[in-house]
Amino acid sequence: MSPLATALASCDMLLIDGLHAFDFTFDDTGLTVECMDGRQLRRWAFTTDQVAAATAAGDEWQLDDAQGQHRLVCMSAFRAPDEENDEPDLDEPADR
């Protein structure tokens, strides 16, 4: 597995060409990314060979396709804690 493929497997948000993308898939066919840029739906599709050929510069990856170069950053989204863990247990006495 390529270094970018490993990073994609563990992230849940991408920054591609400066746009935040939560809607992406990475599988045996490659990487597909979709996000809204204002009112315009933007789509990117990279083959597995293009993902394997990506070059890293710090936290940023450069991917090349027929349209040119694209910058990609793999990120982890913040998640709210489980709601059931936020509720105090009513069976236990409150601290006084």
Q: Cβ neighbours of residue 7 under 8 Å, at least 6 residues apart?
A: 61, 74
What confidence tens digit (pLDDT) does each residue in 83-95 have?
A: 555 555 555 555 5
pTM of the model: 0.75
pLDDT, tens only, 21-67 = 999 999 999 999 999 999 999 999 999 999 999 999 888 999 999 98
CA distance 46 to 51: 7
Amino acid at 12: D
Q: Please name the fold of domain 3-78.
A: PH-domain like (2.30.29)
